[in-house]
Structure 1
Amino acid sequence: MNSTAAAGAPLRRFRALPLRSRLALLVAVAVAVAVAAVATASWFMVRNQLRSQLDASLRNSTVDNRYVRMLLNACADPSTGVPPAPGSYTVQIVTAAGTTCTSPNASPIEVKQEDLDVAAGRRLEVLHTTKARNGADMRVLTTFKRGVPGITPDSVAVSLTRPMSEVDEPLSSLAWILLVFSGLGVLGAGAAGLWVARTGLRPVDQLTEAVEHIARTEDLTVQIPHEGDDEIARLSRSFNSMTVALASSRERQAQLIADAGHELRTPLTSLRTNIELLARSEETGRPIPAEDRRALMASVKAQMTELASLIGDLQELARPDAAARGPLKVVALHEITESALARARLRGPELTISAALEPWYVRGEAASLERAVVNVLDNAVKFSPPGGTIEVALRAGELTVRDHGPGIPAEELPHVFERFWRSPSARALPGSGLGLSIVARTVQQAGGTAQLWPADPGPGTVAVLRLPGAPTPPPDQP
């Protein structure tokens, strides 16, 4: 448990850093890993190349019998002079017995078993690394040489060596150069990463400032400037679209409250006046004539009904779309229309309502769809003349309701689905101006469209609701 917590502590500290610091750190780490990999690979390549060159120089150098004879004579008689080996080479003769003879001014080289094998003739050549007596690392090429006439009848091994410092010193210098430049590269990458992070995240900073400003002031008019089509620009455009939508939603909400207050004021004022008249009659003991009292009570009842209808419409419109939809199921639109027709006939018993309904199944919320159809039929009943006719038809998902009332002027048709909008000719009739708004919203949620246009031939109005569906229910539906 403790080890796991300790292992996760660096990750938590890293996540606690600001985003730009994390980006700069990640860039620096990525560059450091890449530079380290390149530097390491370069170092090994140079080392292998230098060693190959050193081995090649040993193989390309030869020691003739004359020099071997001179070196063996010098070892037998130290007073005999012998020139040193050419260049930086060291020459050492090894016998099968293990005795050695080294060129002048050179430290003897440690003899290995491979050298003895060459001296005994068991191997012709061996290349290895060993140490000199003075501790220096030496690269050794030992070759077989037969007995030298006049000097020794036995075969010997001639070791030609060069110090490994010829390779190690350049490699050490290269390692320091790579280390210094790698460090500078990592520091530069970190600085560049921080600059890139600051530059790249500037729009995010603007977005953060805008969000904080909106949280403090609730000012939804803030817009973030954006250019290009990258992810940051898309995020800025999405944020601007969101603030516009929120501002529009708040404006609609404020307008809904203002319109609702205006619409509620009229029935409430009428109710208050009627109730005050009744209360004053009771307080003064002066009874209201029976006919007037019945009229007052009927008015109170009508205003209460209008208030209840208005509040119900407001509740329907105030619900979010997801809540308003409820569970979507496949429902029979023709059956819903028949139920709505029964209610419409009760509200307009003096009217003739004809219906021709073909089966049609849609996916939606049955109660909401029935309310939408009822609202359309209520409008037709409300504006139909006494003894008039209303024609209802449902064919291929298109529900039409045609009345023979006064109709709607062409200039008013674009406003009929707006909330609280009422035609001047309908303001004297009961209603809230929300019925067709609810119709349009419900039909759109079901994937359809709602339209109104003047009847041809007139007078009258035709309401058309188009809903996607099928004439038969899906196989999994009853």
Structure 2
Amino acid sequence: MTLRVRLAVATALAVATVALGLSWAAFAVIRYELTHQLELELTQAATVATQQQGAQQQGGQQLGNEPPGVLSGQCRYLAAPACTQIVPADPARDPHSAVAPYLFPVTPAVREVAAGQRGAYFSTTAVGGFPARMLVTPFRGGTALQVVLRSDGVDRAVRQSAAAFAGLGAAGVLAAGFLGWWVSRTGLRPVARLTATVERITATGDPHHRITSHAATGRRRDEVTRLGESFDTMLDALERSVTAQRRLVSDASHELRTPLTALRTNAELLARGDRLTDAQRARAATALGRQLREVTGMVNDLVELARDEEPQALVERFRLLPLVEHAVTAARGHWPGQEFTLTVGPGAAEAVVPGVPARLVRLLGNLLDNAAKFGAGRGPVDVLVTRTGDRGETLEVSVRDHGPGIATEDLPYVFDRFYRSDTARSLPGSGLGLAMARQIARAHNADLLARQPAPHEGPGACFVLTGLPVAP
């Protein structure tokens, strides 16, 4: 069964069970009250008979001389008072008459009540061919008193009540079925809308559709609405991911077009090597090798960035300062004409951090290469390692150059993939280094920020690796 059918059946069964249970309970209460009222009348009739016998005793009769037999026998009529008869415990005391001495059957249980061996009780009997209710209670002088009233009126009322409540129960079952259908349709309408949206997205591949509107969200805050909002949040993330993927593919194709064209040109040029001089062939081969390295590096960077997460490598604990010194030494070899200075703050030399050394070396290398490229010839590249936090629980590494700096309008975009400012378009690079550096930083529970130095510090740009946790 579908979810809607299951919900409708479950709701209908619950409502029908309640309706039938209430009908049965009401019928049981009415039947009890009617029967109890009849028994109260029998008890009252027995009390009246006992009082009459007491009055006769006070008039001169001796205790225990009440003659057995019928005291009142008109109860075969519906509106007649109760029939009463006295039955002795000893059958020898039964009245001797050609006519039946008793109106009602005298059972051994009645004799036991007369002998005091059993208490009073109610039972069902018949009088004049009609159903009746009988009370047998101890009487005076070793006798029992039988009191009988016709019960066909009560029985008829009970049957009518049963028919009425059976009809109500049937109506309740029908109402339960309708309510179950209505509840399932109303309650699952948002789910149906969610399903339709998912099917539409699956069919079209467009994650632009949404489940809930702001007006519907403002009206109610139930579980289904929260599910729709959560699904909308997931669709937002999916749309951003798809948009970023498309932008990455577009940017990558744009960035790769120029080096691939140059590669093809140099390859075609080398294919006609017999027409070139030795110097021309050497220049073409050198350019081809350089372009191959650039394209290979760009493709590797794209592969790492396309994962949008760091590879799961073995996390180690190591001192950060030797890693920074290694990165600075490598940068000096790559940029022989650029000066690099390293400053270590108090407590930073002994600080141990958890992480992947190779990835942090890549991060620092990207920052140092970026600083050397934009600050070449304008001053040293300053590297500062300090401990931060109230108790020195984090490390901070800043890399500052003395170049032209970052324009204010470019600051929000410096970590975007393939973003290059107008002043950087003439310089070598693909625009992926800073994006990869921030990805590595966040994988180490840190962050990478870009800022402009204070006015009194002079021109330049500063990149800060902040929040790198220090291992205990």
Indicate the SS of the match to 1:23.
Answer: helix
CA distance in 2, matches of 1:193, 1:463: 63
The answer to whether the Cα contact below 8 Å between 1:20 and 1:197 also exists between their aligned partners in 2 is yes
Instruction: Identify the residue that residue 305 of structure 1 maps to in structure 2.
Output: 293
Structure 2: gaps of 5 or more residues: 388-394
Counterpart among 221, 228, 231 of residue 239 in structure 1: 231
In 1: Cα distance, 2:408 partner to 2:112 partner: 116
Normalised by the size of structure 2, how large is the TM-score?
A: 0.82
> Would you say the 8 A contact 1:391–1:403 is kept in 2?
yes
Aligned length: 436
3-state DSSP of counterpart to 2:12: helix
Which stretch has the larger CA shift, 192-201 or 161-170? 161-170
Unaligned runs of 5+ in 1: 1-16, 76-80, 148-154
Q: How far is the alpha carbon of 1:286 from its aligned partner?
A: 3.1
Given candidates 277, 293, 296, the residue that maps to 2:269 is: 277
1:219 alignment partner AA = D
Q: d(CA) in 2 for partners of 1:398 and 1:221?
A: 40
Offset at residue 170 of structure 1 (A)? 2.4
Distance (whole Å) between structure 2 residues aligned to residue 107 and residue 194 of structure 1: 63
The question of whether the paired residues in 2 share the 8 Å contact of 1:72 and 1:101 is answered with no
Q: Which residue of 1 aligns with 2:38?
A: 54
SS of residue in 1 equivalent to 2:298: helix
Task: Please say if 1:128 is aligned against 2:118.
Answer: no
What CA RMSD, in Å, does the superposition of the two structures yield over aligned residues? 3.3
Which of these residues, 419, 422, 434, is aligned with residue 420 of structure 2? 422
Cα deviation, 1:9-48, whole Å, max 9, x if unaligned, reads: xxxxxxxx22222112111111222223323333333333
| Equivalent residues of 1:325, 1:364 under 8 A apart | no
Q: Determine helix, strand or coil for the equivalent of 1:198.
A: helix
CA contact (8 A) 1:107 1:133 kept: no
- Matched residue, 1:438: 436
SS in 2 for 1:351: coil
Q: Which moves more between the two structures, 230-239 or 432-441?
A: 230-239
For residues 101 and 182 of structure 1, what CA distance do their matches in structure 2 show? Answer: 56
Shift of 1:260: 0.7
Taking structure 1 as reference, are residues 444 and 53 closer, same or farther at Cα in structure 2, changes over 3 Å only? Answer: same
Asked whether the equivalents of residues 110 and 133 of structure 1 are also in contact (C-alpha less than 8 Å), the reply is no
Deviations 1:252-293 (A, max 9, x none): 111111111111111111121122122112xxx3341x3333
- Quote the sequence identity (%): 36
Question: Letter of the aligned partner of 2:386 in structure 1?
Answer: R
CA distance in 2, matches of 1:73, 1:122: 19
Of structures 1 and 2, the one with the larger relative CO (CA 8 A, separation 6+) is 2
Which residue type is aligned with residue 446 of structure 2? Answer: G
Take 1:408 and 1:177, find their aligned partners in 2: how far apart are those partners? 88
| Cα distance in structure 2, aligned partners of 1:100 and 1:286 | 154
2:9 alignment partner in structure 1: 25
Pairing partner for 2:275 from 280, 286, 292: 286
Q: What amino acid is aligned across from residue 116 of structure 1 in structure 2?
A: R
Cα displacement (A) at 1:159: 0.6
Residues 458 and 114 of structure 1, relative CA distance in 2, 3 Å threshold: same
Distance 2:69 2:89 in 1: 19
Shift of 1:329: 5.3
Aligned counterpart in structure 2 of residue 340 of structure 1, from 327, 346, 349: 327
User: Which residue type is aligned with residue 406 of structure 1?
Assistant: P
Alignment of 1:99-114 (within 5 A): 99=94, 108-114=103-109
Q: 1:425 to 1:115 in 2, by over 3 A?
A: same
For 1:450, what is the secondary structure of its paired residue?
strand
Aligned equivalents of 1:248 and 1:106: distance in 2?
103
Aligned equivalent of 1:84, options 54, 74, 78: 74
Tell me how far 1:340 sits from its aligned partner: 2.1
Give the one of 185, 191, 195 matched to 1:208: 195
| 1:445 CA displacement | 3.0
Q: Report how far residue 362 of structure 1 moved.
A: 4.0
TM-score (norm 1): 0.81
User: Is the 1:92–1:101 contact (alpha carbons within 8 Å) kept by the matching residues of 2?
Assistant: no
Q: 1:410 to 1:146 in 2, by over 3 A?
A: closer
Distance 1:231 1:264 in 2: 48
The question of whether the paired residues in 1 share the 8 Å contact of 2:72 and 2:83 is answered with no
Aligned to 1:151: none
Moved more, 412-421 or 108-117: 108-117
Q: 1:378 to 1:74 in 2, by over 3 A?
A: closer
Query: Which runs of structure 2 are paired with 1:42-441 in the superposition (5 Å)?
Result: 42-61=26-45, 62-63=48-49, 64=52, 84-85=74-75, 87-98=80-91, 99=94, 108-120=103-115, 126-132=120-126, 138-146=132-140, 155-226=142-213, 227=216, 228-281=220-273, 285-288=274-277, 290-321=278-309, 324=311, 326=313, 330-357=317-344, 358=348, 359-386=350-377, 388-396=379-387, 397-441=395-439
What does residue 8 of structure 1 align with? none
- Cα deviation 1:104-153 (Å, max 9, x = unaligned): 99994332333112333556x61221434878654322244446xxxxxx
Amino acid at match of 2:74: P
Q: 1:212: Cα distance to partner?
A: 1.0
- Distance 1:329-1:36 versus aligned 2 partners, 3 A rule: farther
Which secondary structure state, in structure 1, belongs to the residue aligned with residue 84 of structure 2?
strand
Conservation of the 8 A alpha-carbon contact between 1:115 and 1:126:
no
Task: Assess if the C-alpha contact under 8 Å between 1:267 and 1:303 holds in 2.
Answer: yes
Relative to structure 1, the CA distance from residue 24 to residue 135 in structure 2 (aligned partners, 3 Å threshold; closer, same or farther) is farther
Q: Amino acid of the residue matched to residue 307 of structure 2?
A: R
Conserved? CA contact 1:352–1:387, under 8 Å: no
Shift of 1:84: 2.4
For residue 326 of structure 1, report the CA deviation from its aligned partner.
4.4
- Whole-angstrom CA distance in 1 between matches of 2:462 and 2:432: 18
1:35 equivalent in alignment to 2:19: yes
* Inter-CA distance 74–196: structure 2 relative to 1 (3 Å threshold): closer
> Which shows bigger deviation, 108-117 or 368-377?
108-117
* 1:11 corresponding residue in structure 2: none
Distance 1:115 1:215, change over 3 A: same
Distance of aligned partners of 1:319 and 1:277 in 2 relative to their CA distance in 1, 3 Å threshold: same
Question: 3-state SS of the aligned residue for 2:148?
Answer: strand
Partner of 2:449: 451
What displacement does 1:217 show?
1.3
Say if 1:273 and 1:127 are closer, same or farther in 2 by CA, change over 3 A.
same
Cα distance in 1 for residues equivalent to 2:252 and 2:264: 18
SS of match in other structure, 2:426: coil
What SS does the corresponding residue of 1:467 show, helix, strand or coil?
A: strand
